[in-house]
Amino acid sequence: MLLDDGVVVEEWSSLVNPCQRIPPAIQSFTGITNEMVADAPTFDDLRSEVRERLEGRLFVAHNARFDYGFVRSEFRRAGEKFSAPVLCTVRLSRALFAEHNRHNLDALIERWSLECGQRHRALGDAAVLPGLLAAFEGAVGAERVQQVIEASRFESRLPPHLPPDLADDLPEGPGVYLFRGEGGTLLYVGKSRNLRSRVLDHFSAGHRSGKEAKLGSQVREVEWIETGGELGALLLESRMVKELAPTANRRLRKSVGVLCVRLHESDVALRPCVEALDAEFLDGDAEAYGPFRTERDARRALEGKAREAGLCLKLMGLEQGAGSCFGYQVGRCRGACVGKEPPALHDARLRLALASLRLRAWPFEGPVGIRERAADGAGTLLHVVDRWQHLGTAQDEGEVAELLRTSSGRSFDPDSYRIVARCLERLPRRDLVMFGREEH
């Protein structure tokens, strides 16, 4: 359907033979059967005509990335490139009418009292859009609609040193992206639930900090790896940053050693000590707090918790000297250092103050698998974890067995601990695989 200044000047449609059977669910959804497309032309037959009709025009669709991506992939399959400016009426509706929660086509047809002759058919759905755009202009004015359209198109513009069709190629699903500079130097690894949106944000003037602006000027190549979900993206980003050490990443860098705080008996009261984190501290009733990357981080956390709870830094071994501690002198310590607070009470309050830092014991007898949809939607993957550590991601039982066989001797990774712990808090039981062992 060709629109010129809001007026439909031409309509064209054709069924396409997909060269494969149409699944029953799709037949029911669209009303298009295998018999209807048996004698229809293939996309290759229509390729020249489709290009002629789309070349040099604004590509408008509801959920446009799907339709546009399909057309581009078919041209790519034929060994041709295709690119066009895109306007998505879903995004336009969200930007103009953020007070509404639903922006699917059925919701908009009802909201704006529009008619649709053949829902879920290409021409039928396209025929709704001229009326939809007119309704938008009637509600907020043509100038406002044009401002939002221009702003959305500007957000997709890339600096001249990057391929112009990168914005079209970037997927809108979860995954990890890599920025490379001159000579292929790895600059940065990041993750997102929407790769396209996040990568373009790096180059959008309205969203950039000085650091991002500098990084954006250095990028010469963008790569990405799609994952089935957010968990896969988080785990992959953490692993790749540690293994590849990108120059612009500071968070998630590999630590020389991981530390924790343990409470030990002294002559008077419990005394926190900073020591290397051992895997056995994550079993049963072991008591450890952290994790920390440096002794300075651990001491800073201890001192902060002590001041919040009115604990005695001297009794905790964090302050030296004779007599009362400095906190008692200024009214921040309850007097354990001068005998005014019983040591047993101070010990109990110390444990309570550190409770939020306590490392969680591994709640299973052995390794487990966390199910997540594969990036291509075909089947599921298993993220194999043991004692909070990600051992790897497997596609079948053989890969699981190999990960379990080669997992011994892995060091504790605080980032993996945090990612897996957060995931298990909200993970449905059906997505957990026990590998034949029972949960505690």
pLDDT digit string (tens) for 68-114? Answer: 888 988 998 899 988 888 899 998 999 999 999 999 999 999 999 99
Strand, helix or coil for residue 256? coil
**Structural domain contains residue 208:** yes
Question: How many percent of the chain have pLDDT more than 90?
Answer: 57
Question: How many percent of the chain have pLDDT more than 70?
Answer: 94
Residue 289 and residue 324 in one domain:
yes
Q: What is the CATH number of the domain that holds 105?
A: 3.30.420.10
Q: Please report the pLDDT score of residue 211 as a whole number.
A: 79
- Among 338, 357, 376, the domain-final residue is 357
Q: Please report the pLDDT score of residue 439 as a whole number.
A: 42
- The stretch 341-365 carries a mean pLDDT of 93
Q: What is the CATH number of the domain that holds 195?
A: 3.40.1440.10
Residue 221 and residue 146 in one domain:
no
End-to-end CA separation in angstroms for the chain: 62
Q: Please report the pLDDT score of residue 438 as a whole number.
A: 42
Instruction: Tell whether the model's pLDDT for residue 132 goes beyond 90.
Output: yes
d(CA 427, CA 369): 11
For residue 271, the cross-strand partners are 264
- The DSSP bridge pattern shows strands 259-265 and 270-276 to be antiparallel
Residue 121 and residue 187 in one domain:
no
d(CA 236, CA 393): 9
Q: Provide the number of structural domains found in the chain.
A: 4
The Cα-based distances of 13 to 207, 305, 321, 401 in angstroms read: 40, 68, 87, 52
Q: Please report the pLDDT score of residue 368 as a whole number.
A: 94
**Structural domain contains residue 438:** no
**Cβ neighbours of residue 202 closer than 8 Å, sequence gap 6 or more:** 179, 208, 212, 215, 216, 219
Residue 170 and residue 189 in one domain:
yes
- Among 357, 391, 408, the domain-final residue is 357
One-letter amino acid at 312 equals: C
**Structural domain contains residue 440:** no
**Structural domain contains residue 362:** no
Q: 92 is written with which tokens?
A: 């336009």
| pTM score over 0.85 | no
Residue 151 and residue 178 in one domain:
no
Angle between helices 195-203 and 210-218 (to 10 degrees): 100
Instruction: Tell whether the model's pLDDT for residue 173 goes beyond 70.
Output: yes
Residue 146 and residue 173 in one domain:
no
- Across 113-127, 266-280, 351-365, 402-416, least confident range: 402-416
- The stretch 412-433 carries a mean pLDDT of 91
Q: 157 is written with which tokens?
A: 């513009």
Instruction: Tell whether the model's pLDDT for residue 156 goes beyond 80.
Output: no
Provide the pLDDT confidence category of residue 241 given band limits of 50, 70 and 90: very high
The Cα-based distances of 405 to 79, 274, 400, 402 in angstroms read: 44, 32, 9, 5
**Structural domain contains residue 193:** yes
- The stretch 298-308 carries a mean pLDDT of 94
Residue 226 and residue 91 in one domain:
no
**Structural domain contains residue 57:** yes
Instruction: Tell whether the model's pLDDT for residue 409 goes beyond 80.
Output: no
- The stretch 130-156 carries a mean pLDDT of 87
Q: Please report the pLDDT score of residue 160 as a whole number.
A: 81
pLDDT averaged over every residue in the chain = 88
Residue 125 and residue 33 in one domain:
yes
Containing structural domain, residue 178: 166-244
Residue 133 and residue 24 in one domain:
yes
175-212 pLDDT per residue, tens: 999 999 999 999 999 999 999 889 988 887 655 567 77
Residue 269 and residue 229 in one domain:
no
Provide the pLDDT confidence category of residue 436 given band limits of 50, 70 and 90: low
The Cα diameter of the chain in Å comes to 96
Residue 23 and residue 70 in one domain:
yes
Count of beta carbons in the 10 Å neighbourhood of residue 145: 19
Strand, helix or coil for residue 434? coil
**Nearest-CA neighbor of 313 among 332, 295, 298, 294?**
332
Residue 170 and residue 151 in one domain:
no
Q: 62 is written with which tokens?
A: 């509801």
Provide the pLDDT confidence category of residue 411 given band limits of 50, 70 and 90: confident
- Among 107, 127, 155, the domain-final residue is 155
